[in-house]
Chain A
């Protein structure tokens, strides 16, 4: 297959998805470009994590298609899907480290599972990845001994262990102090450019994310409401982007989870 440089890595076409009776995506369209850092932003609970799980093939849309690297994720057979996932790194919001093995073991895990590299080589690779996230000294700690921010950085080291073609970051910045935040922001950009990755960042941290993103999608209420480069969004006079970029509670993006009237609720009346 001849995929040109300009062919998007991920094509999301008209995806619908619901959880029970709750509609989460109502026709989402996105193109994620190769070699770029693409940010997906939106209020909490709009389904950003869900979108990443759809891309990774862990959830199935009720309609619409998702193509990754020219393959329809939800049409693949089990084996092919697992083959594709080796090329996708994902950083979970919770870190999702294996709690019964050490930091070193966690980063070595994908290498040991998928390669036949000798132990000395694995040691080298693991230490390199840990060095990149500043946690080489923590290699013998168990995941329970890490702080939330440290756990996320270990998870990042693990996500890049297999040198994937893309990485999906779910809220990489939450729980980082200003220093590790700065390091992490630069690291994500650096990994993207040096390793020729494509990156997707899901985040609320507008400033940090916009500083490194090439392209931004704003998602709300199950739809993409705005997209463009960070500069375009900042300059845009659409209410969506103004509200989100400046972090105001009032505007078209609802801050509240759908509920009945506040006064009625407090008084215990039926809506």
Chain B
């Protein structure tokens, strides 16, 4: 049996949580199954598609190739934890208005990557936007409408500042 000390503690969507299971468990499984944040999607399990993206200390990372042990004392956000955040809401509205959502399976991961970009760069170029989401596959939209959605969000953020 594990002792209390073996628990992995981290901040998840603003709350301190701990996980007592196997430290090698994949973060995606822990988030989806133990904490029921199913907004984190699994598309490949190989770190390629970006559907499982979460914010790890503000950076977008694929949670399917990260053992939960590595997030000890770190801060994780999934889309569920961002619902009340203004910048995220602006992104959501922009995705809806720009027609950037089809099947939606890539969308939460895409939102995470877009959010991470806008947090670090409030006026990204087209190329920077492309680069920021190049690790997020979308098989439905052809990507240009997603890029436009992010640009729309940039403009709206500029207006509200």
Asked if A pairs with B, the answer is no
> B residues bordering A, Cβ < 8 Å?
none
> A residues bordering B, Cβ < 8 Å?
none
